[in-house]
Structure 1
């Protein structure tokens, strides 16, 4: 065993012995394969990405110690005045009728704290019990009178919780509590607020995919909350607001679909120029009180979710919240979990006084998860695709402007120290031990060392590890990255990809390469467009373009382009799937089938659920069966030109990506 591995194994053994957990030694299991593809670029890291929520009921909001703790964590955005309190808060007299307002939490104090932290502010204007005039006056005070320059302004908080869908926790004094009324008021707020400062950005509240009340159409509405709000207010907003409390620690795999579905709704309903509209997740927490949200499982979930959301183009993710208070207390992985949703302790005790949190502003484990994120990626870095061969090990990676590559490795196993081997595509690491940042279960700091190699590390159980790898050669004189690609003429099997030319470095550019993130290269060209053929119908593709110069020098990858192929423009069959009614975890689907060809004595319709969290609960007007993810529906005779209707109940526990490709007796149909 190499000496470096011996030292790593010894450290793991000491940690596990202290926790009384029987270890599984790294040399007893095969290495986990980690792949990092620097050609598969994702989103660029924003300067607002890592955020959290302040609240006016938190008496420690304005203290220097709190601000300094948040600064040390690398906090880039602070949201105010605090969740549902936003819809009862009146900024001018610093009151929240029906709620508690702590001393020293007014807007000026918040701004002073944000400046000490070095974080950008985001303010939620009072929709529930306020007015557009009140919000505009706040903008005037903030940005004209005081010169604070607050850029991001939300209109209300979780307004869909006003009782319109049956559950009411959000204050809303409007007689009409529909999404249409909210949208009309968003327009009024935006007009009034931007009349004061046209440079501000206005955000509107949306529902999050597969989270109540997403997908539900209430009586009298023209569609779901998101469809109505985007259709009526889309031209006036600059970003949309999602809140995500997944209720478990293994939901990061759903994020890509969650964000893709939100973007699809924005494109479909927000009108011309909707690509300007950003996405903010202004509240995130695991949502599992007493099950590890302020111990190490919460830290791992925080880092994984933040990295995945930011890699998918979200411009801020904001933890709920800085201080919260004690909840259900239990032991989680050898540590006391206080059931506290805060990043920092506020030293509260249980009602019987038997258990108290540690001293005020003691960091909980998720604090270190976000601190690790701020050390893993910095504004201007570019996420690149990373993957592993072990479900308990997650990888993220980002390329830095100086050419370095940072790799974040998360080991969610409670008792196994996994050795990993890291392979790189589009990047050659330098020899020698990289800089390694580590946070382990029960740790009170992130440690830094030079250990292992760029291609081999050992991950302690329940740990976060970031390695910073230098390139093997100087990154000078290379071409610039090509611009944002676009897709046109997309059919069922082909698409034309075009991009703005890259800026040459010290040598002329000789060609561009089009790479697909699923693996391999579509092709190369000397021009700035390329037509791809032989694609699979109804399939999502993500591609990047790189420039190569006459000396073999390669640029950074372009921003990603994602497009989805359709189905044949003409076929012997056509299918239309519609969502008839939805209750947030299931729906009634209706399928119209038309036979455009010769008469058949029987037919078999086939399709597959796009995601593992979808299933068939039953169907009618035909014989339905499901095998794995594949669904088969068998019916009787269907004359030429005739149509038939069948229906089903589908269930889902994640973003509900509807099936888009159907075959009838083996032929791919046109999906309407």
Structure 2
């Protein structure tokens, strides 16, 4: 059933089909390069640890092969550890007891028990979507009872509905919802009911609530009658009753080249979600996980660009600590056929061929892996459960890098060459790791390849990346690290001001010698800057920049000079001065998902009058800008915005205020600035 709906908005489907119908040449080549690309890998800049369920995909009840041994074995070979059921928007019309989905097609051999048998053969955990749209909390609780009490399947993760913001409340209505009240508040109230009912049956289950992904519709929009956005409303009501939040991501794009740049949005996207969780969950924010239960490039679905996107996106999301990333989906069906980077793309969202035909064009034999399957396989081989991601960066936008450090001391590096025409020479430098003087194990997926090749080649510091390729290296250390102290525990922060913060951490267990000191390192890309050191387990960092996001790690060093692994990362943002001669309040008054109206209120809190003023601030990202402004003179250079007074508001008496406004545009997560200067003085931000 290739025409069955996925769980994407109808508008996005039409856009994707229109773009896919074109013959796509891929990213424009930058031409042959003689200067090697510099890759930096820094093991002292630690990120998240890879989850044991990170690599996942979706099954759907229109796929009669979801439980076959052949399908399960292919998914197992790809390292898939999470399987989602019963399939996107179908979840909100599916009734598990009768195995029916009124208004949709249910294929034979797709019932819950068949799905579980396939998941068990795959070696994957199931994640199940309870029917919110046309179901009840009691129906969901009965499903938990059947799964975990009657059958003993141990299904841990349960989502409450699928993309329920698509129920018409914001204008688009692809998602079934029989509730009279379709607001986010009603959804949240029902999440609480579902959670209570399901946990009454099995207190060990984990309940997930649907959120919107930052900068993806309808994120940022406040619908008529609502007081806040979907995310703020849902979390304000349901945060105490959930264990994880659910994101879906089909990046808006204009073409193949554009979609491959969207992975740069991931750190800010997840940062914003974590900030939203922290705002509403308080002390238990750290107990609420993040799951990306649907992801797809939405273009060039079966060819190499989708593979490049998959490898880069999975690694980037795992770096941010997501416990599962689930490709949409295993089998989906042929769509609009096009040519991408010299190869036939079947417009099929599936990882594996459905062997369908359109006109005189047919897909390859059933279950033939498409390019994203191979890329996801490479991610599984690159980052094993328990591996710690570390910072990796390049000086070339067309080359992406990721790295993990393994418990046995090995280092793995994943490199993505997004140039469709030119190979890239890379020169790799390491901080905190000395590679052995031997050829590393190298795996590669090239454009049009039907499998991943693995061998030995190049060196630990020099490699050649074929055009449009994914490459992984596995490196052994030059010498086994013995006797080093263990990594310090998870750092926490307190007393954050505009200029200082107190960082504390659990002590590191000593190795062969006592711990002599701890070093606090700030991440700046793949380069670290030591902020200080101490012999105790707390340190006050000074000379910080107001309104700035910091990510730090702590490292232990013993009396013999041996160095521990880096602690888990800590991210915090400095504030503004408690007292200043000026104050600023920025308010997002109206948002439409790609832009907003911002109101800025400036107050002279000093004792002297101002006769002329200049306001300054810097956008946190490169994809934010001022489109137009009023009541002041607005100018932007790079990310820096300068605003000057007009004759009407240039004079501000002590205690006086003025309001100015602008239209802001954004094409990625809209992280608002929190630091402002007035005539060079840092203001208090209200």
Interval containing the TM-score (normalised by the shorter chain)? over 0.9
Equivalent position of 1:653 in the other structure: 667
Aligned residue in 1 for 2:627 = 617
Choose which of 581, 587, 599 in structure 2 pairs with 1:590. Answer: 599
CA distance in 1, matches of 2:182, 2:207: 20
Note if contact 2:28-2:419 (Cα within 8 Å) is conserved in structure 1.
Answer: no
Provide the residue aligned with 1:102 in structure 2.
Answer: 107
Q: Distance in 1 between matches of 2:30 and 2:205?
A: 54
CA distance in 2, matches of 1:431, 1:415: 31
Query: By how many angstroms is 1:619 displaced?
Result: 1.3
2:41 and 2:430 in contact (8 A); partners too: yes
Tell me how large the CA RMSD over aligned residues is. 1.5
* Contact persistence 2:548–2:574 (CA under 8 A): yes
Match for 2:319 among 296, 311, 314?
A: 311
Query: How many pairs are equivalent?
Result: 647
Alpha-carbon contact 2:31-2:421 (below 8 Å) kept: no
Q: CA deviation at 1:377?
A: 0.6
2:90 to 82, 85, 88: 85
Report the counterpart of residue 5 of structure 2 in structure 1: none
TM-score between both structures, scaled by the size of structure 1: 0.95
Structure 2 residues not aligned, in runs of 5+: 1-24, 253-258
Contact 2:29 2:420 in 1 (8 A): no
Give distance in 2, aligned partners of 1:264 and 1:92: 39
Shift of 1:502: 0.7
Of 586, 593, 605, the match for 1:577: 586
Shift of 1:24: 10
Q: Distance in 1 between matches of 2:309 and 2:42?
A: 23
After superposition, where does 1:225-264 map in structure 2 within 5 Å?
225-247=230-252, 248-264=259-275
Aligned to 1:220: 225
Give the Cα–Cα distance (whole angstroms) in 1 for the partners of residues 420 and 547 of structure 2. Answer: 39
Q: 1:568 aligns with which of 564, 568, 577?
A: 577
The residue aligned with 1:486 is 492
Q: 1:22 Cα deviation (Å)?
A: 13
1:370 matches 2:376: yes
List runs of 5+ in structure 1 lacking aligned partners.
1-18
Counterpart mapping for 1:205-354 below 5 A: 205-247=210-252, 248-288=259-299, 292-350=300-358, 352=359, 354=360
Structure 1 residues 45-77: Cα deviation after superposition (integer angstroms, max 9, x where no partner): 000100000000011111111101100100010
Q: Which moved more, 1:121-130 or 1:268-277?
A: 268-277
1: CA distance between counterparts of 2:386 and 2:483?
A: 19
Could you list the per-position Cα deviations for residues 505-527 of structure 1 after superposition, in whole angstroms to 9, with x for gaps in the alignment? Answer: 12211111111111221111111
| CA–CA distance in structure 2, aligned partners of residues 269 and 512 of structure 1 | 33
Alignment of structure 1 residues 348-427 onto 2, 5 Å: 348-350=356-358, 352=359, 354-427=360-433
Shift in Å, 1:495: 1.0
Q: CA deviation at 1:422?
A: 0.6
Three-state SS of the structure 2 residue aligned to 1:273 is helix
Other structure's SS at 2:248 match: strand
- Contact preservation (8 Å) 1:24, 1:417: no
1:58 aligns with 2:72: no
Q: Distance in 2 between matches of 1:135 and 1:271?
A: 28
The alignment status of 1:31 with 2:41, answered yes or no, reads no
Give the corresponding residue for 1:451.
Answer: 457
- Is contact 1:231-1:271 (8 Å) kept? no
* CA drift at 1:632: 1.8
Deviation readout 1:443-493 (Å, 9 max, x if unpaired): 111111111111111111111111100111112222111000011111111
1:7 alignment partner in structure 2: none
Q: Per the alignment, do residues 22 and 254 of structure 1 end up closer, same or farther by CA in structure 2, a change over 3 Å counting?
A: closer
Aligned to 1:210, the other structure's residue is in SS state: coil
**CA 75–31 in structure 1, closer or farther in 2 if over 3 Å, else same:** same
Contact 1:78 1:121 in 2 (8 A): yes
Does 2:130 match 1:130?
A: no
Contact 2:29 2:419 in 1 (8 A): no
Please give the alpha-carbon distance, in whole angstroms, between the structure 2 residues aligned to 1:235 and 1:263. 15
Find 1:191's aligned residue among 196, 209, 226. 196
Q: Is the 8 A contact 1:25 1:417 kept in 2?
A: no
**Alignment check: 8 A CA contact 1:38 1:426 kept:** yes
Tell me the residue number matched to 1:163: 168
Distance in 1 of aligned mates of 2:136 and 2:28: 60
Shift of 1:332: 1.0
1:664 and 2:678 are equivalent in the alignment: yes
Match of 2:9 in 1: none
Tell me, yes or no, if the aligned pair for 2:502 and 2:540 is still in contact at 8 Å: yes
Q: 1:624 to 1:24 in 2, by over 3 A?
A: closer
Deviations 1:582-624 (Å, cap 9, x if unpaired)? 1111111111111011101111111122211111121112222
**Does the Cα contact within 8 Å between 2:42 and 2:391 map onto a contact in 1?**
yes
Q: Distance in 2 between matches of 1:336 and 1:214?
A: 34
Post-superposition Cα deviations, 1:341-396, rounded to whole Å, max 9, x if no partner, equal 1100000111x2x1000000000000011000001010000000000111111100
User: Displacement of 1:320 after TM fit?
Assistant: 0.3
Question: Which has the higher mean CA deviation after the structures are superposed, 621-630 or 507-516?
Answer: 621-630
Q: Is the 8 A contact 2:260 2:418 kept in 1?
A: no
Aligned partner of residue 52 in structure 2, secondary structure: coil
Deviation at 1:23, TM superposition (A): 11
Distance in 1 between the 2:216 and 2:663 partners?
18
Q: 1:85-139 CA deviation, whole Å, 9 max, x = no partner? A: 0000000110000000000000000000000000000000000000000000000
Shift of 1:25: 10
Between 322-331 and 35-44, report the one with greater CA deviation: 322-331
Checking the alignment, whether the CA contact within 8 Å between 1:36 and 1:424 is kept in structure 2 is yes
Indicate the larger mover: 529-538 or 147-156.
Answer: 529-538
Partners of 2:268 and 2:475 in 1: CA distance: 30
- 8 A Cα contact 2:94 2:101, kept in partner: yes
TM-score by length of structure 2 reads: 0.93
Equivalent residue number for residue 497 of structure 1: 503
Pick closer, same or farther for the CA change 1:641–1:301 going to 2, 3 Å. same
Output the CA distance in 2 between the equivalents of 1:167 and 1:24: 40
Distance, in Å, in 2 between the alignment partners of 1:249 and 1:96 is 36
